[in-house]
Amino acid sequence: SQQGEEDPQALSIQEGENATMNCSYKTSINNLQWYRQNSGRGLVHLILIRSNEREKHSGRLRVTLDTSKKSSSLLITASRAADTASYFCATDGGGSYIPTFGRGTSLIVHP
């Protein structure tokens, strides 16, 4: 299975602090994506990083990928209360482009 596993399962921080979430996976991948899900809603695509990339930025988001360790991290800088959501990593590979999702990290940012 390509399923990623996020760590920690839950994270509670104060507004303004940075939030770091990690994702580990088991087999070789083509791409790794991070998604955000607000409670009771669909997922929103945040960022995609390809297997030959090591780091990508998008606004306050920074994603790293270490294929040797089969892991990725999502850093949200200067967090805001509106960042409160669940964050999922999704990987695809092995001939399939269909992403499979981890269990997610529940992030709570206190104002």
Partner 1 sequence: GAVVSQHPSWVICKSGTSVKIECRSLDFQATTMFWYRQFPKQSLMLMATSNEGSKATYEQGVEKDKFLINHASLTLSTLTVTSAHPEDSSFYICSAPGLAVEQYFGPGTRLTVT
Binding site for partner 1 (CB under 8 A): 3, 30-31, 33, 35, 40-45, 48, 88, 90, 92, 97-104, 106
Dist. CA 111–CA 81, nearest whole Å: 5
Closest approach of Cβ 97 to partner 1, in Å? 5
Dist. CA 72–CA 26, nearest whole Å: 12
Closest approach of Cβ 102 to partner 1, in Å? 6
The residue (of 5 and 15) whose beta carbon lies closer to partner 1 is: 5
The residue (of 9 and 18) whose beta carbon lies closer to partner 1 is: 9
Task: Using alpha carbons, list the distances in angstroms from residue 75 to 25, 92, 94, 98.
Answer: 18, 21, 27, 24
**Structure-token pair, residue 1:** 């299975």
Query: Distance from first CA to last CA of the chain, Å, rounded?
Result: 38
Closest approach of Cβ 52 to partner 1, in Å? 14
Check if the beta carbon of residue 73 is closer than 8 Å to that of residue 20.
yes
Closest approach of Cβ 33 to partner 1, in Å? 6
The residue (of 14 and 38) whose beta carbon lies closer to partner 1 is: 38
